[in-house]
A and B are shown apart, each in its own frame.
Chain A
Amino acid sequence: MSALDVTAAVFYTLVFPGLLFTGVVGLLLTWVDRKVTAIVQSRVGPPWYQPFADVGKLLAKRMVIPRGAPALGFLAAPLLAITGATLSAAIVFQAVFKPEEGFIGDLIVLVYLTALPAIGLIVGGASSRSPFGAVGASREMSLILAYEAGFLLALSTVVVHAGSIRLADVNLAQLLEGPIVWSPSGLLAMAVLLVCVQAKLGFLPFDISEAETEIIGGPLAEYSGVGLGLFKLSRAMMFLVLPALVVVLFWGPVTATPASLVAFLAKLLVVEVLLIVAKVTHARVRLDQALRFFWGRVVVVGLLAAALAVIGL
Chain B
Amino acid sequence: MSALDWCFKKSIWVYHVNAGACNGCDIEILDTLTPYYDVERFGIRLVHTPRHADALLVTGPVTRQVRDRLLRLYDATPDPKLVIAVGSCPTGGGIWHNSYATLGGLANVLPVAVYVPGCPPRPEAILYGVAQALGLVQQQVSAQAYAEVT
Contacts and interface: CB of A to CB of B under 8 A. Distances in A.
A76 interface: no
Contacts of B80: 61-62
B40 A212 contact: no
A217 interface: yes
Contacts of B79: 61-62
Contacts of B54: 57, 61
A13 B55 CA distance: 36
Contacts of A202: none
Interface string A8-49: 000000000000000000000000001000100111111101
B3 interface: yes
B18 interface: no
B38 A56 contact: no
Contacts of B8: 57, 60
A73 interface: no
Given A53-B6, A56-B3, A60-B7, A224 B51 contact: yes
Interface string B22-59: 00000000000001001011010000110110100000
A221 interface: yes
B141 interface: no
Given A43-B38, A64-B76, A224-B78, A217 B48 contact: yes
A288 interface: no
B52 A217 contact: yes
Given A43-B35, A221-B51, A222-B51, A50 B76 contact: no
A223 interface: yes
Nearest to A35: B40
Contacts of A54: 7, 11, 43
A82 interface: no
Contact of A46 (B6, B43, B49, B76): B43
A221 B15 CA distance: 13
Given A41-B35, A42-B35, A45-B41, A212 B11 contact: no
18 contacts: A38-B40, A43-B35, A43-B41, A45-B40, A46-B41, A50-B40, A53-B7, A53-B10, A53-B43, A56-B4, A57-B4, A57-B54, A63-B78, A64-B51, A64-B76, A223-B52, A224-B52, A225-B78
